[in-house]
Structure 1
């Protein structure tokens, strides 16, 4: 494990989010910024600026989030301002289901790169295994394995460094591994105390995949019909015991499971709370927000890497939601080929 460097003004300071090794030799930061449903230009800019100043070096987006262009503009501006090198920021985006046809994979990736204003992305996922046809059956049939071969060509062309799978089940993972010349390095799936996804995580890690857990807070803004893990009594009790926020407890829970965690927020204070900034010198910060000194002073005692949950606390959190329930089931796709959630995992 190691850390990136954070440039603020003329000072270079370490960022504390550890890096996890990918099977192809690259590394991925263990905390990233989720950007789902963040599309307003001004809000995206503030979110990315805040995240980079707070020490994030992992940004997760996707074509379907409709914010790649906004993120690209913000990244270009802030990285130039802070002197942050491209190789020190890990950018993830994803291939949408309408572009699974092998002929569409490279154009889709290149379009994402243009919007992001990048020469390459660090990680490119197949977002879902489900193909969403837009050609009314006019093309030759193809398989998920054919899509993967087109993904491999992106690595060959230098457009992508690492390939990933998102929302795939075990059988689908096995099929890709069987044909892969360039193996996937990351599996991104829903993972929280409300939906532990234990069997799939254990399997993915056993075959060398780093697992990214999305919706660690249960995505309360997207799925209001469910109780948020942030409101579960044992979470608030453990948070009080450690002097942390409930969000930090849930992030720490994911980290101790060996996951990359990508909490989503567009609120400056919460963005900062979700990552460790304890090694940053307050006096050397260049203010990017009128209240940012307050954020960092507040956070010095409220970080996610200066404490550990005990085995008993981990067990309590794992048992906190007996009715395990997936928030992102996309049941409207249940009758489509390759729908991943018919299988147990």
Structure 2
């Protein structure tokens, strides 16, 4: 009797724990320690879960003594895996189709370069191939950003580099934003404090007629930085409170983490809609590049206010051996009006 009661308690507790992990938003827990990390890796969690299911099924088949308990645990874990697969399927495992580009479109390339590691030539070539109007480069130094801008400009796509650095000790403490001159003149207050630990760049149109462009880099949700990470996400929400904003970069967060941060209908954060979510790409992992994309965390984003709509987006997997631990992403934004 005691054994059955204990088994029932374990089953119930496990089911509740897996429910919290599968959908922490239901409990307002998506930005809490441990859960924030676990929910980032739904694909990996489902993969591990299926392995546990297989192991439990084997145990149930070979041991009559624990058959009912093992079968119950396998069923619970299977439901957990299926919930994650349903969520990932709804968000999209990748649609790389792009609509025909128009003269008013803006193409945005974002790549956390892990301290310039891919090299200026590789970054520039990727931007040229994408026809990028905006290039967001977290963890990229001023020197590398200027070298990339020069190479792209030499290819006939003139760009201006803007870099904000909190210090020169680590290249991770720099974020570079390149803006094509065709979008007009932009100004950046490089001394402005933005996200708490790693800098973000806010570029405003000099004549006030274009979109505000934000290169985003919140700190990662690691032990010791959780409070900063949560405040950074609040900063991201506030940065996208305007009517005409394009935002891209390494957000160090997935759609699961934005519960309660969206303001406009369908928005992920503030008034900004995630390009991946509207193009069936939001389940494609961008970090780490060493893992298959289906198992990774989709933490790099291009977002925009509803006056823009994503007419193409893809996670680039051809640069997985370039040195960075992130995959680059590119999105095409078309005026919605």
Q: TM-score, normalised by structure 2?
A: 0.31
Q: TM-score, normalised by structure 1?
A: 0.31
Bigger CA radius of gyration: 2
Give 1 or 2: higher strand fraction: 2
